[in-house]
Amino acid sequence: MLTASVRREGSSTFGENYRWGTFPGASVAWNLANEEFMQPVTFVSDFKLRAGFGVTGTIANNPYQSQTSYNFTTGQGAFINGEWVPGFVPARNFNPDLRWEKKEEWNVGLDFGFLNNRISGSLDYYTRNVKDLLYSFAVPTPPYLYGSMMLNAGEMQNSGFEALINVRAVDTRTVRWNTNVTFSTNKNTLVNLSNEQFNVTTEFFDAGHTGEPIQVSTHRVAVGRPIGQFFVFKSVGLDDDGKWLVENREGEVIPIASATPEDRQFYGNGIPKYNVGWNNSINIQRFDVAVNFRGSFGHQILNMQRLYYENPVNKAYNVLKTAYDPVYGKQLNNDLVYVSHYIEDGDYLKIDNVTLGYTLPSNLIKGISNLRIYVSGLNLVTFTGYKGIDPEGVSYTGDFTFAPGMDHRDKYPTTRTYTLGLNVTF
């Protein structure tokens, strides 16, 4: 089997030199189960080998990123003919070369089925190179009007494995149980941060922000390292006065008052290494039950609630009762500061959905061919050691692509929902 395609797409969000992009794709497959030499192997019902390659494009988040823009301001202007004339200040640089961010992906996989597809599933391994990364790059002024510029620079590499297994565990006239398990893992590396026009002198940039009054970045994105790493003072204890003790860049324990920004270090990662799901569907005569689990593992979360509210010193914020709990066996007596103590393991397993239904006999009520009553619950139980509200309520995309795993103070908590319903077919 062979499939091929070519797409030609344009977007006015890009510069006038590169508004159009060409995105090819191709895949091949061979189902060995259909070959004559596989016919004696009766328990194999499907065994398809696959391979593919494709390129997709990403559009800039906001329009006009390639255009010069100015902000109106009353603070800057000129005194002309006896009157103060407000002025305009540069807010964005002109970039006619702003173009598509391209993802080039290779994939190899296997689709399988055994025992007349009673056991089936797929296995996939992929590598994805993201080229011409779209991000705001620091540029010199002059010659540019503004100190940063949205452009294409850098490359990121991703690779991962995904698995899906479906099983008809029980299949009788009165009882049926279908279950499936999903598993995925991914790792990424920032390959470079330069392009043919701009070469960086410092091969990293900082992302994320704690907010006032701490006002420091939370992550560092560095060439040769994975995306999503926290960059923080590593706390190792408290001194006799309740002040933080941290580890410096030489591995020595020092008071936080003596620490410098160069003593911050990489600590944990906000992107889960593993994601799992387990879905079950059971039918017992007229009763039906669905139970779904999912979870994420191998990642950390910056608990911003604890960072700000678990501090007995700063009276400008609300205080949790845990602010007076011992830290490293001592009472904390330090103002707000970003240290690794507030970065926690974010592993969780969640009972995401449970539904119980009952279908009445079709001839029970005249004119009604199907009548089903059900009750369901969403977001029912979370098993986790994380101390925040919900380890799942953390953003990993959009503005948090380079600063994942931040559990912000002002987020709206996830909700638990119960539903009682009726399905009727006339």
* pLDDT by position in tens, the chain (length 426): 999 999 999 999 899 899 999 999 999 999 999 999 999 999 999 999 999 999 999 888 788 889 999 888 877 778 888 888 888 888 899 999 999 999 999 999 999 999 999 999 999 999 999 999 888 887 888 888 898 888 888 899 999 999 999 999 999 999 999 999 999 999 999 998 887 777 766 788 899 999 888 999 999 999 999 999 999 999 999 999 999 999 999 999 999 999 999 999 999 999 999 999 999 999 999 999 999 999 999 999 999 999 999 999 988 888 999 999 999 999 999 999 999 999 999 999 999 999 999 999 877 778 788 899 999 999 999 999 999 999 987 766 555 678 999 998 888 888 999 999 999 988
Whether 258 and 181 map to the same domain: the answer is: no
Residue 363 sits in which domain range?
A: 203-426
Peptide bond into 255 cis (omega under 30): no
Q: Residue 317: left (phi > 0), alpha (psi -120 to 50), or beta?
A: beta
- Does 65 share its domain with 154? yes
**Same domain? 167 vs 251:** no
Residue 44 shares a structural domain with residue 101: yes
Q: Are residues 189 and 216 in the same domain?
A: no
Same domain, 189 and 326: no
Among 179, 201, 223, residue at a domain's last position: 201
Same domain, 422 and 286: yes
H helix or E strand, kind and range, residue 23:
strand 20-31
Listed residues 158, 179, 201: the one ending a domain:
201
* Domains of the chain: total: 2
Strand spans (E) along 318-401: 343-345, 348-359, 370-384
Domain CATH for 24: 2.40.170.20
The answer to whether residues 191 and 231 belong to one domain is: no
Same domain, 153 and 281: no
Residues 113 and 140 in one domain: yes
**What's the predicted TM-score (pTM) here?**
0.86
Polymer length in residues for the chain: 426
Tokens of 8: 């030609």
Residue where one domain finishes, among candidates 201, 233, 263:
201
Residue 105, CA distances (Å) to 26, 268, 311, 350, 373 in order = 11, 27, 47, 31, 45
Among the listed residues 237, 236, 233, the one whose alpha carbon sits nearest the alpha carbon of residue 220 = 233
If asked whether residues 293 and 157 sit together in one domain, one would say no
Residues 178 and 223 reside in one and the same domain: no
Residue 245, CB-side half-sphere exposure with 13 Å CA sphere: 14
Q: From CA 48, how far away is CA 95, in angstroms rounded? A: 47
CB 193 within 8 A of CB 202: no
